[in-house]
Structure 1
Amino acid sequence: MERQIFLNDTTLRDGEKAPGVAFTTAEKVGIAESLAAAGVPEIEIGTPGMGAEEMEAVRAVVALGLPVRLLTWCRMLSEDLDAAIESGVPAVNLSLPASDIQLTRKLSLDRAGALEVVQRMVGHAAARGLFVAVECEDASRADRAHLADVIETAARAGASRVRLSDTIGVLDPFSTFDLVSEMASQYLMDLEFQGRNDFGLATANTLAAIRAGACHASVTVGGLGERAGNATLEEVAAALAVLDRANTGIDLKALPELAAHVARVAGRRIPAIKPVVGADVFTQETGLDIAELLREPCTYQGLDPALVGRHHQAVIGKHSDATAIAHVLKEKGRELEPNLTAAIIARVRSTASETKSTIAEAQLVKLYDELCRAASDRSLAKE
């Protein structure tokens, strides 16, 4: 049986913390609709305590009546929780540092004081009928015994889930697995993991957390977020489906357009080599790879592009061989003459080296036609 994993997208909250990113209310509404259409089961839609403009955006998303769970993020302060309740959102993520360094330097709290805050604020939110998740900020640097106490206190006060956040991105897959498995083995509480990408490990850490027992994961479209960003929705959803055979409910075919949508409104460019949704990730130039893909795709295919609504593309460049060139020419109505094979390969390689780019299909046809005319002229001259 497939394991059910729930992805909580926080593009509208944590993703917007990326430098220079500021979504309008209309843009937030559009992103929320796209996320719901893609099958994302939970959306963290903002921070009502930020003020009137954020409250307006949160209310606008709530008013959509989307068939997903909507959460807002709150500090463990009464004014933040009151703002969330006023917004009409049905669920809250109450956040408090878990590490000693953040507790003492940010809040001047000791561990005992932190537990009192958790018990009081979670109890207050639960009494108001809200679904309550608790975020342990900087869980990666927290004392394990205190982290266990936070989880136990949150559960007893009425929380339904605890998020273990690698706030400064210092975990690796091994330490992530160790942390989550230790917490999961002690409590029956649902655990969520939030990975940051400071060392490029957010997706790997998220998968490790899920394999260790977490059943929820925090993600953003395109990995959008502060510093190096968050775990990427597209990467995590595809990896869970293909590598772990898990059920997330995400429509993988919707991911490329979803990523393009968020990139447009965020004013960000999707790198060509971005996994799953980048322009070049299903593109092959190397001759051997193309030949094998044409013959038997699984030889050089880890992720079937059809799963995410895409397809393989062969491009011609310095590393292309006769098979690849012949394939592209045939698609354009040309048959590669055996006596011109060496010449066209040489022309392709020299052109690609000079321009430091691939050869467009029209350009390849032009180069080949020139060779054909030159060969014809030579033949006529001999006659």
Structure 2
Amino acid sequence: MGAPRKTPTPPVLVDTTLRDGEQAPGVAFSREEKLRLVRALVSAGIPEIEAGIPVMGTAEQETLWAIAALAGSRCRLLSWGRMHPEDLEAIRSLPIRFANLSIPVSDQQIEKKLQKGRSWVLETVRRFVREALDLGLEVAVGGEDSSRAELDFVLRVAETAQAAGASRYRFADTLGILDPFTTFRSIRKLRRTVDIDIEIHAHDDLGMATANSLAAYRAGATHISVTVNGLGERAGNAPLEEVVAALRYNSRTDCGVRGDSLFALSRLVAEISGRPIPEAKSIVGGSVFTHESGIHVDGLLKDPWNYQAFDPKELGRTHELVLGKHSGPRAIQWGYRRLGVDLSLSEAEAMRKPIAAFVTQRKRSPSPSELLGLLAETIPSGVGSRALPASRA
């Protein structure tokens, strides 16, 4: 994909959970829930929050006023709107002075949704950017469906936005069709064409939103749109927690967001959205730092770096070791030692079969009391198993 920038500046993350995240089917946040989320995002060090859509009405505008009062100067807020007079009128009355004004740029949406032409798009960008600037707003031009647009036209739209006074172009992969290689080439060409900031807004329909966001950053994007847990329309957006971790551990870039805040943020959004977190969800899933395999557990007990690419404590997590079908005798020894029972290797070997049978039948690891019950059933009383002193248990 070409060489990355030699001295990249960390990207600015733009959290749009309150806007694009709430557009997920069946998700609706109350005002208090939005304020709880803003508090958590600000505390985590999120530099920019896309707070909502003013044209939705009085209730949304009142919430945006409350968000602005809460965030103060600790976080930059954006509002979202179309390039439409009603949207601009709703935005002008708010204390949020940065507007993301969106317009389709693919021929598909220009012709089939707007029933307009390319020249109309260019003129509309000129007009609305200038009108917004006259209102004292800073403007990002959101190029909806940029990934399906002809790239040369995307470049013309971005150039037009820059000439009109916009400070940012949002390259939206609205349908999540990009791959990292195409993303890199497109953003690199865009970066070489305009001097304004470039934001990548990736959707996850093909499961590549995080990878596409990193590719865009390496190609010159200055901002990355994210949502907590990847919440959003259809398959969602680039997940905040994945982007933060991938930047830190893959690109060796600290974007300023506290890693130890991600787990709590994830749980909060799961609660207020009604969307449970999958157990295997990277970074924040319940089982992503849990180990059962005998080889892995043995290696972790010898040295955690045998089976960790980064310390989960940096993300507010810890390794969890459980016993199951794939546990070896040393892992079983370790598990029972935690319960105050010292097993010989032969006794631990004898426990493998009943533990595996339990997990196969119940589809979960046994609890401490169940492990002790399996031990009592498997090893006759008085044969080898020894209770450890309290100081060693």
Give the partner amino acid of 2:313: A
**Distance in 2 between residues matched to 1:167 and 1:303, nearest whole Å:** 32
Q: Does 1:360 align with 2:367?
A: yes
Picking from 292, 306, 310, the partner of 1:303 is: 310
Report what 1:117 is aligned to: 124
**Distance in 2 between residues matched to 1:338 and 1:176, nearest whole Å:** 54
Are 1:164 and 1:194, in contact at CA under 8 Å, matched by a contact in 2?
A: yes
Report what 2:301 is aligned to: 294
Residue aligned with 1:87, SS: coil
Are 1:161 and 1:190, in contact at CA under 8 Å, matched by a contact in 2?
A: yes
Report what 2:111 is aligned to: 104
**Distance in 2 between residues matched to 1:145 and 1:182, nearest whole Å:** 9
1:3 is displaced (CA, Å) by 2.8
1:106 is displaced (CA, Å) by 1.8
Q: Does 1:206 align with 2:213?
A: yes
Residue aligned with 1:374, SS: coil
**Distance in 1 between residues matched to 2:38 and 2:238, nearest whole Å:** 18
Report what 2:37 is aligned to: 31
Greater Cα offset, 348-357 or 176-185: 348-357
Give the partner amino acid of 2:181: F
1:373 is displaced (CA, Å) by 4.2
Residue aligned with 1:164, SS: strand
Picking from 11, 19, 34, the partner of 1:5 is: 11
Report what 1:258 is aligned to: 265
Are 2:333 and 2:344, in contact at CA under 8 Å, matched by a contact in 1?
A: no
What do residues 134-167 of structure 1 show as CA deviations (whole Å, max 9, x unaligned)?
Answer: 1100000111111111111111111111110000
**Distance in 2 between residues matched to 1:51 and 1:8, nearest whole Å:** 23
**Distance in 1 between residues matched to 2:54 and 2:312, nearest whole Å:** 39
Residue aligned with 2:381, SS: helix
Are 2:330 and 2:348, in contact at CA under 8 Å, matched by a contact in 1?
A: no
Q: Does 1:221 align with 2:228?
A: yes
Residue aligned with 1:63, SS: helix
Report what 1:380 is aligned to: none
What do residues 270-326 of structure 1 show as CA deviations (whole Å, max 9, x unaligned)?
Answer: 111011010000000100001111112222112321110111000111000111111
Report what 1:17 is aligned to: 23
Give the partner amino acid of 1:291: D
**Distance in 2 between residues matched to 1:343 and 1:318, nearest whole Å:** 13
Greater Cα offset, 320-329 or 283-292: 320-329
| Structure 1 unaligned regions, length at least 5 | 378-383
Report what 1:381 is aligned to: none
**Distance in 1 between residues matched to 2:84 and 2:346, nearest whole Å:** 78
* Compared CA separation, residues 339 and 247, structure 1 to 2 (3 A): closer
**Distance in 1 between residues matched to 2:231 and 2:245, nearest whole Å:** 17
Are 1:47 and 1:72, in contact at CA under 8 Å, matched by a contact in 2?
A: yes
Are 1:2 and 1:245, in contact at CA under 8 Å, matched by a contact in 2?
A: no
**Distance in 1 between residues matched to 2:115 and 2:235, nearest whole Å:** 28
Q: Does 1:56 align with 2:75?
A: no
**Distance in 2 between residues matched to 1:162 and 1:317, nearest whole Å:** 51
1:19 is displaced (CA, Å) by 0.7
Correspondence list, 1:222-371, <5 A: 222-371=229-378
Q: Does 1:189 align with 2:196?
A: yes
Are 2:329 and 2:345, in contact at CA under 8 Å, matched by a contact in 1?
A: no
Q: Does 1:139 align with 2:156?
A: no
Are 1:14 and 1:226, in contact at CA under 8 Å, matched by a contact in 2?
A: yes
Are 1:176 and 1:209, in contact at CA under 8 Å, matched by a contact in 2?
A: yes
What do residues 189-244 of structure 1 show as CA deviations (whole Å, max 9, x unaligned)?
Answer: 21100111111111111111111111201010011111111110000011111111
What do residues 238-281 of structure 1 show as CA deviations (whole Å, max 9, x unaligned)?
Answer: 11111111121100100000110011011110111011010000
**Distance in 2 between residues matched to 1:339 and 1:171, nearest whole Å:** 54
1:187 is displaced (CA, Å) by 1.9
**Distance in 1 between residues matched to 2:326 and 2:147, nearest whole Å:** 44
Are 1:137 and 1:166, in contact at CA under 8 Å, matched by a contact in 2?
A: yes
Are 1:318 and 1:348, in contact at CA under 8 Å, matched by a contact in 2?
A: yes
**Distance in 1 between residues matched to 2:281 and 2:247, nearest whole Å:** 17
1:54 is displaced (CA, Å) by 1.2
1:375 is displaced (CA, Å) by 4.8
Are 1:33 and 1:66, in contact at CA under 8 Å, matched by a contact in 2?
A: no
**Distance in 2 between residues matched to 1:325 and 1:376, nearest whole Å:** 17
Report what 1:165 is aligned to: 172
Residue aligned with 1:204, SS: helix
Picking from 46, 51, 61, the partner of 1:45 is: 51
Are 2:12 and 2:222, in contact at CA under 8 Å, matched by a contact in 1?
A: yes
Q: Number of paired residues? A: 378
Residue aligned with 1:205, SS: helix
Give the partner amino acid of 1:95: S
Report what 1:129 is aligned to: 136
**Distance in 2 between residues matched to 1:289 and 1:239, nearest whole Å:** 23
**Distance in 1 between residues matched to 2:172 and 2:309, nearest whole Å:** 30
RMSD: 1.6
- TM-score normalised by the chain length of structure 1: 0.95
**Distance in 2 between residues matched to 1:332 and 1:211, nearest whole Å:** 49
Give the partner amino acid of 1:7: L
Q: Which has the larger share of helix?
A: 1
1:57 is displaced (CA, Å) by 1.4
| Structure 2 unaligned regions, length at least 5 | 1-6, 385-393
